[in-house]
Structure 1
Amino acid sequence: MTPQGAASSRVAAAIDAAHAEGRGAFIGYLPIGFPDLQTSIDAAVLLAESGADILELGPPYSDPVMDGKVIQEATQAALANGFRLRDLFPAVREITRRIDIPVLVMTYWNPVVQYGVDRYADDLLAAGGAGLITPDITPEAAGEWIAASRRTGLDRIFLAAPTSTDERLELVVNSSTGFVYTVSTMGITGERAELDAAARTLVARLRAHGAEHACVGIGISTAEQVTGVLDYADGAIVGTALVRALRDGGLDGLAAEARSLAAGTKSARPHG
């Protein structure tokens, strides 16, 4: 059994629970601190209450190289409004007190190193967090984090891209728990009119290497796209569309967008 099948994975359990209901998982991303810290906490709770199975929260970072314009602008606004990394763990603690779905933190690696890998893992665990998505570190460079996650039971989620070699996919599958973050297109996050067909091929390659849970992100912005992705993947990850809805429509706009996207999971293929 691959590490993804670890019985202690709250993230894998949430995906399996969605499958038991005959649908795929909806994973929603929001930046912490946007438009302000308390509203971002309320927005995360509302996203969970509006149909998300797993939350993915992004601490703002000063050099967000993988993020598209909408998310970059939101994170820059959060930093301008005074967000600091020390705000992350109290925010996660308040969110996890109010909801019972897993809360992942998607973070660039430098802030984790600056904070201290073991200290970060301990503080995230104490706050009720479920694990980390680390987009800019590869498993072979993440030994300290892999050790810390094994010690704490936190999920560790690495990225797989269409350009990844078979050797790379094998390493990512064997190093990830919860799910493998499957990048649908190369480049920055954002919405795409059509998802890259490479995502379907990449999920098939991950399955061949033993991936039990593969979730697709980057470019998904409509319920129809959620349904399309869940034809072959275990979960659909949406960020930009939710951030835009919060920016333009406040909490009500976010809730409406989340409910619409969650509806896209219901017509997905049966999951076993």
Structure 2
Amino acid sequence: MGRIAETFARLKKQGRKALVPFVTAGDPDMKTTETLLHSLVENGADVIELGIPFSDPMADGPTIQAASERALAGGVTLGAILQLVSRVRQHTSTPIVLMGYFNPVLRYGIDAFAEDAAAAGVDGLLLVDLPPEEAGEIHGALRRRQINLITLLAPTSPPERRRQLAAAGEGYLYYVSMTGVTGTQHVDPQAIAADVAELRRESRVPVAVGFGITSPSDAEAVAAFADAVVVGSALVKIIAEYGKSPELPERVAEFIAALRQAVDRAA
């Protein structure tokens, strides 16, 4: 059993839901990202999604796009991100999922990436622009290294496709709470609760909900019916606001701790 499965099994036994924060690697710089990753763990993150900066994102709104631009301007590479994961892995068993787009992985080399990611301690990969029908090669390479290929599922997915994705899911399913890009709309828990409940019945892995979760109250509402809550743009906004200020780690810690308490209240 991998770290992702172990984490969700432990939380289920405890009657708790998972908190999954997202940060962009290298925003504002790699040293700060490393500090923040440790802070996320210390303040209650169960799984970390670490964004791979990309110049042409299709699912990310202005907040995460800007974070990618800052990271790329600082010279962040996929190789440097894997080195970062390797350093962080020496101090924590918290699952780390890389999230991004297919081009950087393809350029790195699919088999080389899978090998190096496994050696670094990566637990999962989520590629926003790679449909399952075209993921055969990378899926095989990851599976041989016990790395989960995380699947995205949209509210507009037809019922048959939902069932197919739910049956094939690894690690967890990432349910996108709305149409559109990240950080531009506000989640409506009542509008998606029934869909997520149905998906949880169909899926053999836990269901995480992301996009539009901006506050502890949002997190609490979504945790009432989902297995995990993903918070990205709201956290990235804090990083953008404070940048390299000495106050940044404290502000991030406060926000994550508040989310943790909110998610636990819903359990």
Aligned match of 1:78 in 43, 50, 71?
71
- Tell me if the contact between 2:177 and 2:187 (Cα under 8 Å) persists in the aligned partners: no
1:196 CA drift (Å):
5.4
1:251 aligns with 2:228: no
1:266 aligns with 2:233: no
1:243 CA drift (Å):
1.1
The within-5 A match list for 1:79-228 is: 79-190=72-183, 192-195=185-188, 197-228=190-221
> Partners in 2 of 1:190 and 1:110 — Cα distance?
23
1:120 alignment partner AA = F
1:31 aligns with 2:24: yes
2:245 corresponds to:
none
Stretch of structure 1 that moved more, 194-203 or 154-163: 194-203
Structure 1 ranges of 4+ moved more than 6 A: none
SS at match of 1:12: helix
1:238 corresponds to:
231
2:57 corresponds to:
64
User: What is the count of residue pairs matched by the alignment?
Assistant: 262
Stretch of structure 1 that moved more, 184-193 or 150-159: 184-193
1:247 CA drift (Å):
2.5
- Tell me if the contact between 1:161 and 1:182 (Cα under 8 Å) persists in the aligned partners: yes
1:39 CA drift (Å):
0.7
Alignment deviations for residues 6-36 of structure 1 (CA, whole Å, 9 cap, x no partner)? xx23212212222322221000100000101
Which consecutive unaligned segments of at least 5 residues does structure 2 have? 243-247
1:133 CA drift (Å):
1.2
1:86 CA drift (Å):
1.9
> Partners in 2 of 1:32 and 1:102 — Cα distance?
15
SS at match of 1:95: helix
1:191 CA drift (Å):
5.7
> Partners in 1 of 2:199 and 2:128 — Cα distance?
17
| RMSD of equivalent CA atoms | 1.5
- Tell me if the contact between 1:57 and 1:106 (Cα under 8 Å) persists in the aligned partners: yes
Alignment deviations for residues 87-134 of structure 1 (CA, whole Å, 9 cap, x no partner)? 111011111112220011002111111211111111111001101012
- Tell me if the contact between 2:178 and 2:187 (Cα under 8 Å) persists in the aligned partners: no
> Partners in 2 of 1:131 and 1:71 — Cα distance?
20
* TM-score, length basis structure 2: 0.93
SS at match of 1:264: helix
> Partners in 1 of 2:104 and 2:230 — Cα distance?
23
2:92 alignment partner AA = I
1:233 CA drift (Å):
0.6
- Tell me if the contact between 2:210 and 2:229 (Cα under 8 Å) persists in the aligned partners: yes
1:253 alignment partner AA = R
Alignment deviations for residues 59-85 of structure 1 (CA, whole Å, 9 cap, x no partner)? 110011211111111110111111122
Which consecutive unaligned segments of at least 5 residues does structure 1 have? 1-7
Alignment deviations for residues 148-182 of structure 1 (CA, whole Å, 9 cap, x no partner)? 12211111111011110122112212332111000
